[in-house]
A and B are shown apart, each in its own frame.
Chain A
Amino acid sequence: GQQLNQSPQSMFIQEGEDVSMNCTSSSIFNTWLWYKQDPGEGPVLLIALYKAGELTSNGRLTAQFGITRKDSFLNISASIPSDVGIYFCAGRSNFGNEKLTFGTGTRLTIIP
């Protein structure tokens, strides 16, 4: 099956720092999604990307659909305490199985 490698697995940053994380796929995707999961809650959709090269922002969050269609990036600027949580990428390919494949998550912790 398809595999999504998400990195880093965890990040420890100070409030105000910028954050970058990425996902890479073993195959071409035509959709990339980024979700955030707060402790004890279900994932919530942050950004959806549908076109190679697309750059989309949602407040302090910016995500990009890689031009190779095998990767995607999420950046968070000027982190604040409520950014703490687990960030998941998810993707869907054009071929055969069209269900979403999820990455393993990046756990973001803000050090006081």
Chain B
Amino acid sequence: NAGVTQTPKFQVLKTGQSMTLQCAQDMNHNSMYWYRQDPGMGLRLIYYSASEGTTDKGEVPNGYNVSRLNKREFSLRLESAAPSQTSVYFCASSARALGDEQFFGPGTRLTVL
């Protein structure tokens, strides 16, 4: 059981480039989430998917898009990366919709130059 996996682990982009962060979970969870973590800011929710086929904005959605590809996979896309998007990105999942016990992936460290 791998839990929540994320790829890539590290990425460096130039301003204006695009990329997709991948996330997959093998726990048959219904809900999945994307957070960003910045120094002194805690974890902030970007987007979430309460169940397969639905997605909703979180606290900081601007500049991002998401796709819930199937029950297992939830991707985060940066269409035109900006230096302000330099951060560590975490994917998480929970068994029930907006469930409390969220399980996190290992994170993707993104730098935008």
Contacts and interface: CB of A to CB of B under 8 A. Distances in A.
A76 interface: no
Contacts of B101: 33, 45, 48
A104 B45 contact: no
Contact of B43 (A31, A45, A88): A88
A102 B43 contact: yes
B104 A1 contact: no
**Chain B: interface residue count, which band?**
20 to 34
Contact of A99 (B41, B98, B106): B98
Nearest to A97: B59
Given A104-B40, A105-B42, A42 B90 contact: yes
Contact of B58 (A40, A41, A44, A99): A99
Interface residues of A, number: 23
Interface in B42-70: 42-45, 48, 58-59
Given A4-B42, A100-B102, A102-B42, A42 B59 contact: no
A19 B37 CA distance: 24
A43 interface: yes
A1 B103 CA distance: 24
Given A42-B90, A98-B98, A103 B104 contact: no
Contacts of A98: 98
Contacts of A44: 104
5 contacts: A42-B92, A45-B101, A45-B102, A104-B42, A105-B42
